[in-house]
Amino acid sequence: MGKNNVSKDKNLKNKKKQNKKETIDNLSLKRKAKLIGLVCLVIVAIELIVMLVMHISRENKITYTDSLNSIRSVDDSYYIAAGSSNFKHSRYNEPFIYEYQNEKDKEVQKIYAEKAKFVKYDKELNVVFESTFKSDYDSTFYDVVKVDDGYIAVGSYVYEKKQLSLNTRDGLIVKYDLDGNFVWSKNYQVLGDTEFKKVLVVEDGIVVVGQSIYENMEIGNHPMGGGIIVKYDLDGNFVWTNNHGGNKSGIFNDLVRVDDGYIACGKDAANYGMLVKFDLNGTKLWIKNYANTDTFGFSNMLLKDDKLYIASSYNTSDKKDADGNAIYEYDACIFVYDLNGELLSQMTLKGNQDDRFNSLILLDNKIIAVGYTKSSDIEIDDLNYQKDMLEAMIVAFNYEGKVLNKKVYGGKKNDNLTSIIKAIPDDANLINQTTDYIVAGYSNSRHGLFNGNGKDYYSKVLRYDERLELLIQK
């Protein structure tokens, strides 16, 4: 019995030791598992941080764009505007990404498409809807108008993949219904690179102007390129076309209807402003050039009292560099022409760098123009000069060309005002018999704590009163 008890005690001790060892081994395994798990979590966290840093770094290298090229009011009820966007910061459209293979190093890049943008705003400048044009690549709208059953927007787009490497586009017309839904689209091409800049509604259709030029490095003598004017019926069917200007440079930026036809304005050659008159069937009647504009030429044009008022700029310099090449310095300018294309006068705002007016409105007793300045010495209160940056400006002239008032809209980056119209009157306007102004453009400056990020471009819609005081910015 004693031996059995000793044996039992031994077995019990051995079992306890084994249990203890197993317990220690289990604890060791658990500690190792926890350690391995912790290491895995640390590795995953590091990978996530690296991915986040790479993403942030990649995002910081990309400048996203959202801009407006034109704005109009409709029936004193609402506004419509045209532009383009990557939709990175949009609440209404998702960004669209496509792949592009770089021809130089064959690297495949993912590109955020810059897509055409058409926006409807209510009287208070709140967005009612934001429509786009669905295509495989990039697009833009330069102008949009109201027709009886919807809207027609014009611009350009990359029609097929090979145009990406050629940097060319097709002209584009898109019809939307009254709710901003796509109805139909038409493309137009003459020489390889085409765009439509402005659209005018007439009794039996629409007339558009723009440009069709050769792609880079291509030459030729095609008779139908340069600045183009095209008429369509309201279903987008072609009616007639004509053109004027060089096949590498000519462009029409705007047009007005006169009693016996149309007058289009734009640019020909490097620095030649261009005016061309066509009859109602598109036949060319006369041509006038002004040999000293900037590279954009004549922009927005309006008609009042048988005179044409054109937003632009002109070269004030006769300097040359060491090789004898001209050194250009541009002052913002409003050109005034009669209906025969004869220059009557110029209204200017002087600076020491490049300045220009993009758009204007004509009131009974004054003209309001918007654009930008790059000058350090231009006489505008609160000028926030930044070297090589655009500072947006709004300027009032009387009809004798005297500057009545001027303001800037700017920050530490680029600000540009592209279009101005009379605002739909609010109660204060009606009571006080005053006129406010609506201005569209774009900016990558910060305007307030949460208004912009200092990198990406945001579209801007602004409301000014008669004193050019900023009332609303959206």
Edge-to-edge, what's the strand order for the sheet holding 391-397? Answer: 355-362, 367-373, 391-397, 403-409
Q: What is the pLDDT of residue 25?
A: 61
Q: How far is CA 170 from CA 156, 188, 223, in A?
A: 6, 6, 18
CB 393 within 8 A of CB 373: yes
Q: What is the pLDDT of residue 393?
A: 97
Q: Tell me how far apart the terminal alpha carbons of the chain are, to the nearest angstrom.
A: 100
Q: What is the pLDDT of residue 118?
A: 98
Separation of alpha carbons 69 and 414, rounded Å: 15
Q: How far is CA 246 from CA 189, 212, 222, 266, 399, in A?
A: 16, 10, 10, 12, 34
Q: Which amino acid is at 281?
A: N
Give the global pTM.
Answer: 0.88
Burial of residue 259, with CB atoms counted within 10 A of its CB: 0-12 exposed, 13-18 middle, 19 or more buried: exposed
Q: What is the pLDDT of residue 175?
A: 98
Least Cα distance to 354 among 334, 381, 378 occurs for 378
Separation of alpha carbons 230 and 239, rounded Å: 8
Q: Which amino acid is at 219?
A: I
Separation of alpha carbons 461 and 424, rounded Å: 14
Q: What is the pLDDT of residue 103?
A: 73
Stretches in the chain below the pLDDT threshold 50? 53-57
Q: Which amino acid is at 90?
A: S
Separation of alpha carbons 376 and 385, rounded Å: 6
